Structure 1
Amino acid sequence: MRKSALFILAFAVAAPANAADRNLQAVERPARAMQTISFGSDPLQALDFWAGSGRSAPLVVFVHGGGWKRGDKSMMQGSAKLADWQAKGYAVASINYRLVPVSTVEDEAADVAAAVAWLRSQSARLGIDPQRIVLVGHSAGAHLVALVGTDPQWLRGAGMALGDLRGVIALDGAAYDVPRQMSDGNRMMQGTYRQAFGTDPGRQRALSPTMHAARPNAPGFLLLHVDRADGTSQTNELGAALRKADTPVEIDAINGKGLRGHMEINRKLGEPDYPATAIVDRWLAARFGG
């Protein structure tokens, strides 16, 4: 990891931004309204937080997609998944991270880890259980949570270990093996992949969750995919690598084809009649012990 990234991580974990301290005063109130909190010095190092029920609620941390170059934490607001998780008493955080091309995918992975570490460090004040945290990501966010959940350097850089997570849910990712995705994946996405991962095969491998799936890993994974050729094959390959390492993993195919299905798994998750909702709810309940 670059020295600049390490500096930002140290700042984010050891010395929360002044804005974060101010916002925490509002978070400590019993209301479950959304609060926006900074976890670092960059404007994109911020998260939206909804408190759970009780003083030690399980925490779901959501990482948005957008091709590593766009997207925003605000997509959680008013969503079916937020309503579903809140109804179950979970605390929810939706995070932003620095974006390509101004920043790198390495910076993004560092930001995901830093956000989780900051939330965990404030668990008593936020009313969350530091031992019950699950990462959830969609699309590029699925790649990032899988990377943070398989390559220990990212959480280690933020003062955590992979075992500090309860698990990882990846929603229809397709870049778990970056070199393969760049050679065999959707032609329309090749410019996005080159912008994010460059042309250096060593760097591409280093940013591939499948190539880090030998132990240690996060304690468990739920991998969901729709009917997309690259998403299906990449998910199954990652699942096979995790199973080879004796890491508990569940893989489920969700109805929905192509780009439309890819978008629906994010937009519809949490709706009672959407098939992925029951799968995610069951898996979270098992991981959280509820």
Structure 2
Amino acid sequence: MTKTAKVLTALAAAAVLASPILAQQRRGGGGERVAPECRQEIIELCGRGRGELRTCLRDKYAELSEGCQSALRQRIEARTGAGARGEGAARSGALAPQQTLAYGSDPLQGLDLWVPEGKPAPLVLFVHGGGWKRGSKSNAMGRALPGHMVEQGYAFASIDYRLVPKNTVEEQAADVAAALAYLLKQAEALGIDRSRVVLTGHSAGAHLVALVGTDERYLKAVGLSFADIDGVLPNDGAAYDVPAQIEGAGPMMKETYAQAFGTDPARQKALSPIAHAAGPNAPAFLLIHVQREDGVAQNAALAEALKRAGTKVEVGSFAGEGLQGHAEINRRLGEADYPATPVVDAWLKKVFGA
């Protein structure tokens, strides 16, 4: 990776924050620092405390919308002289998708697909995070993951889905099922082994795959069932019991949860994977998480509920705290020296019978 790329990836937030990002305008002229909608997005993601803002943005930069990322990159380039080369260099090291496909009519119902050469490959389908209201298949996962999955002999799909508040969490779970149905319908032409499938996702994406893996209605609506899935791998989710998560959330996240799940207790329960875990469920789960207090508790509760139902479940607990750990387990999964990678590899081999 070039020096420019390292600036744009490792120092993205800190460089911009050399002058306060929350200020409305430059003193003495010069126009706005960052567009108001981007400032608001950053506040929703990281809060208003400047001390925490630097670390939060550096760790969660990938969860910002593409427009906000572009605005920040432009400010970095202006400060570092990186110029127009920056964006391409920042994305170097990632394996480019072989195909970008539409699984629905909405612009956000699209997916990127990587397939290894040779015989039909087991499918790993990834669902990005971003608080149910932001994120993208292109920027909300670690750069190493697609290439690593292909090296392991798996097809890998990263999907977009419709976002809150324009759409609902129910529609997002429906999008996960629809994307899977689209791929399995064309499995032979795409080089996918439709008999071996795992769903995975990070953060909000972890919640969505856990919901689809415990509430079969979403799969049945597209002509599938739990028989079409071999396993579910939620990565550092913390909304498996939505009412409990809302109860313990701070002001910033409470607002995010209220926007996603509303205030109706019955709806919150219906969108809680733990409420459906009594079974039937997808055949096997691997719950991986870092040491966030709410995440640890939520993963333990879901694991226990799945075990009581007789579902095969394993838990992987890894170092990392707060937002930094939450971002790292997503950003680094697929890197050979990251501890979660061999755990995930071993579980996938077992689930796929490789």
TM-score using structure 1 length? 0.87
Secondary structure in structure 2 of the residue aligned to 1:199: coil
Secondary structure in structure 2 of the residue aligned to 1:147: helix
Q: Where does structure 2 lack aligned partners over 5 or more consecutive residues?
A: 1-95
Tell me how far 1:80 sits from its aligned partner.
Answer: 1.0
**1:120/1:44 Cα in 2 relative to 1: closer, same or farther (>3 Å)?**
same
**1:187/1:219 Cα in 2 relative to 1: closer, same or farther (>3 Å)?**
same
Q: What is the distance in 2 between the residues matched to 1:53 and 1:122? A: 17
The AA in structure 2 aligned to 1:270 is G
Q: What is the distance in 2 between the residues matched to 1:193 and 1:207? A: 12
* Deviation string, structure 1 residues 93-143 (Cα, Å, up to 9, x no partner): 000000000000000000000000110010000011001010010000000
**After superposition, where does 1:217-256 map in structure 2 within 5 Å?**
217-256=281-320
The AA in structure 2 aligned to 1:236 is A
Q: What is the distance in 2 between the residues matched to 1:247 and 1:186? A: 32
The reply to whether residue 265 of structure 1 matches residue 332 of structure 2 is no
**1:224/1:33 Cα in 2 relative to 1: closer, same or farther (>3 Å)?**
closer
2:108 aligns with 44
The reply to whether residue 92 of structure 1 matches residue 156 of structure 2 is yes
Secondary structure in structure 2 of the residue aligned to 1:75: coil
1:189 aligns with 253
**After superposition, where does 1:15-94 map in structure 2 within 5 Å?**
33-75=97-139, 79-94=143-158
1:198 aligns with 262
Q: Residues 198 and 232 of structure 2 are in contact (CA less than 8 Å); yes or no, is this contact kept in structure 1?
A: yes
The AA in structure 2 aligned to 1:202 is A
Moved more, 265-274 or 68-77: 68-77
Secondary structure in structure 1 of the residue aligned to 2:163: coil
The reply to whether residue 101 of structure 1 matches residue 165 of structure 2 is yes
* Deviation string, structure 1 residues 20-70 (Cα, Å, up to 9, x no partner): xxxxxxxxxxxx952110001111010001112323101110000000000
Moved more, 193-202 or 85-94: 85-94
Structure with greater Cα Rg = 2
Moved more, 44-53 or 58-67: 44-53
* Deviation string, structure 1 residues 254-278 (Cα, Å, up to 9, x no partner): 1111110000010000111111001
1:178 aligns with 242
Q: What is the distance in 2 between the residues matched to 1:225 and 1:168? A: 14
2:218 aligns with 154
Q: How many residues align?
A: 259
1:211 aligns with 275
Runs of 4+ in structure 1 over 3 Å off? none
Tell me how far 1:82 sits from its aligned partner.
Answer: 1.3
**What percentage of residue pairs aligned between the two structures are identical?**
59
The AA in structure 2 aligned to 1:168 is V
Q: Residues 76 and 82 of structure 1 are in contact (CA less than 8 Å); yes or no, is this contact kept in structure 2?
A: no
The AA in structure 1 aligned to 2:243 is P
Q: What is the distance in 1 between the residues matched to 2:314 and 2:98? A: 31
TM-score using structure 2 length? 0.72
Tell me how far 1:81 sits from its aligned partner.
Answer: 1.2
Q: Where does structure 1 lack aligned partners over 5 or more consecutive residues?
A: 1-31
2:347 aligns with 283
1:122 aligns with 186
Q: What is the distance in 2 between the residues matched to 1:140 and 1:76? A: 11
Name the structure where strand makes up a greater proportion of residues: 1
Secondary structure in structure 2 of the residue aligned to 1:222: strand
Q: Residues 63 and 141 of structure 1 are in contact (CA less than 8 Å); yes or no, is this contact kept in structure 2?
A: yes
1:167 aligns with 231
Q: Residues 213 and 242 of structure 1 are in contact (CA less than 8 Å); yes or no, is this contact kept in structure 2?
A: yes
Secondary structure in structure 2 of the residue aligned to 1:249: strand
The AA in structure 2 aligned to 1:139 is S
The AA in structure 1 aligned to 2:154 is Y
Moved more, 50-59 or 109-118: 50-59
Q: What is the distance in 2 between the residues matched to 1:219 and 1:66? A: 27
The AA in structure 2 aligned to 1:266 is N
2:197 aligns with 133
The AA in structure 2 aligned to 1:256 is G
Tell me how far 1:189 sits from its aligned partner.
Answer: 0.7
Tell me how far 1:79 sits from its aligned partner.
Answer: 1.1
